[in-house]
Amino acid sequence: MKYYSLNHKAPNVSFKEAVINGLAPDRGLYFPESITPLSEDFIKNISQFSNEEIAFKVIQQFIGDEIPKEIVQQIVSETISFDFPVVSIDKNIGTLELFHGPTLAFKDVGARFMARCLGYFNKENTNKVTVLVATSGDTGGAVANGFLGVKGVDVVILYPSGKVSDIQEKQLTTLGQNITALEVNGVFDDCQDMVKSAFLDTEIARQLTSANSINVARWLPQMLYYFFAYKQLHKEHSKIVFSVPSGNFGNICAGMMAQKLGLPIQHFVAATNVNDTVPQFMVEGNYNPKSSQPTISNAMDVGNPSNFIRIQQLFNNDFKNLKTAFSSYSFSDNDTRDAMKQIFKNSGYITDPHGAVGYLGLERHQLKDNEYGVFLETAHPVKFLDVVESTLNKKIEVPTHIQSLILKEKKSIKISSYHELKTFLQSN
């Protein structure tokens, strides 16, 4: 499998090169040269396969022969070694719980997969590689956990000061070893811009790779849990609508890749908070990125979502075609709190703010009688304890390992500019 830059000004590369480079030299995102649909028999008989067998079948074409089959199977097995249940909320709505991994967030899948791929590619390399990543919340913790102790890899995480939850911050600032957290005076987009600038800086770029969803090894594995959800639902529901809480749009883009592989998904809804660049694009047809605004669903506080260009590529940049398969709506913090209350009152189910935004996306979509809606619950409610407890007026039980995490001492380095980031990277 070869990958090309969506800016079309850089050489095509292998999967290994795409993973190690992160971003193409022309600052474009890598995209697979071909997408071969899976067989209709495989999709039809998906219930007969284990999650590990499904995952290997889905991901193999994007790796090719660059990692031996038995190693890919091991990577897949370790990546998805937890549950992905669809929980019923209403007669025609369920939620896909993606928080059963080690850091209680959907990003555990991509982070674990990428860490293991990079560890394999780097096993004979005597030079260290630095994984540079920006986070608006959950990415940092998942990447830190996935790469903790990986030989030959240092991880540097940039996060916006005061704009992640307390538990999210502790997940990136308390691990030590090969993990360093840089606390940025700014918003997530500032962190992301610094990371992109570092990859274009010829003085330091050769030692860097990215673990944001711009990296193909972080982005593509997210296809897997759409297949797992379909496996659970397809016998009773033929028309499934996924509503995905969306920030950088890697998650929903992976779902649309699953659709291109033949998964019969009826429609996608990208539900955002007030950072509404994509919802506005879907109305006006003009893409106008803006500075991100802080919200209670902070992992989605992205004003210029990197992965939306991949979604456009999937539809050959045909706006009319995109609108038939994809909708996008934005919601305020008040809307989000009201949805959390409504879901809890009607079903007793506790959502985090991001899941609640996903639920609102299904409400706005207005499911037809023969459609079944699935919103993605992308993080455990405990990661947003203050918001959830104050909204629902209910105490949430904190898992034991999170209780011990809260007591750990935060260690971060504060920076305000790209110059400070570069100086840190050069000195280390």
Report mean pLDDT in 10-residue bins for the chain, 428 residues.
96 95 90 97 97 98 96 97 96 96 91 91 79 83 86 90 88 90 92 88 85 89 98 96 96 97 97 97 92 90 93 95 95 98 96 97 94 96 92 89 84 95 91
The class that CATH gives domain 82-104+219-398 is alpha beta
Residue pLDDT, tens place only, 370-413: 999 999 999 999 889 899 999 999 998 888 878 888 888 999 99
Q: 């918003």: which residue's tokens?
A: 187
Task: Say how far apart CA 422 and CA 165 lie, in whole Å.
Answer: 27
What the block records as the tokens of 238 is 């033929």
Phi, psi of 94 (to 5 degrees): -135, 170
The tokens for 196 are: 């992109």
| CA–CA dist 67, 224 (Å, integer) | 19
Strand pairing class (86-90; 326-330): unpaired
- Enter the tokens of residue 404: 């011990």
Contact 23, 134 (CB under 8 A): no
- What is d(CA 166, CA 386) in angstroms, rounded to the nearest whole number? 9
Which residues, 6 or more positions from 265, have their beta carbon under 8 angstroms from its beta carbon? 226, 230, 240, 241, 242, 255, 258, 259
> Catalytic annotation on 69?
no
Q: Token digits for 230?
A: 């379909």
Cβ atoms < 10 Å from Cβ of 397:
9
Of the listed 2, 16, 57, 107, which one is catalytic? 107
Distances (CA, A) of 232 to 83, 226, 380: 12, 10, 21
Check: CB of residue 185 under 8 Å from CB of residue 215: no
**Single-letter amino acid code for the residue at 353:** P
242 within 8 A of 248, measured Cβ to Cβ? no
CA dihedral for 133, 299, 96, 173, sign (positive or negative): positive
Contacts of 18 (CB under 8 A, 6+ apart): 3, 30, 215, 216, 217
pLDDT score, position 404: 81
Determine the pLDDT at residue 189. 85
Helices and strands (DSSP H and E) totals, the chain: 19, 14
User: According to the model, what pLDDT value does residue 336 have?
Assistant: 98
Q: Is 185 helix (H, G, I), strand (E, B) or coil?
A: coil
The string of pLDDT tens digits covering residues 291-311 is 889 999 988 999 999 999 999
User: Residue 32's closest CA among 69, 5, 68, 66?
Assistant: 5
Asked whether the beta carbons of 272 and 246 are under 8 A apart, the reply is yes
What's the mean pLDDT when you consider all of the chain?
A: 93
Half-sphere exposure of 47 (CA within 13 A, CB side): 6
> 129: which strand partners?
153
Residues 207 and 129 sit within 8 Å (Cβ to Cβ): yes
Strands (E), 219-325: 239-245, 265-272
How do 93-97 and 86-90 pair as beta strands?
A: antiparallel
* Residue 258: per-residue pLDDT: 98
pLDDT of residue 65: 94
Q: Which amino acid is at 309?
A: I
pTM, two decimal places: 0.90
Question: Which residue is listed with tokens 């007793």?
Answer: 348
- Residue type at position 213: S
User: What residues are paired with 179 via a beta bridge?
Assistant: 155
Q: How far is CA 300 from the centre of its chain?
A: 10
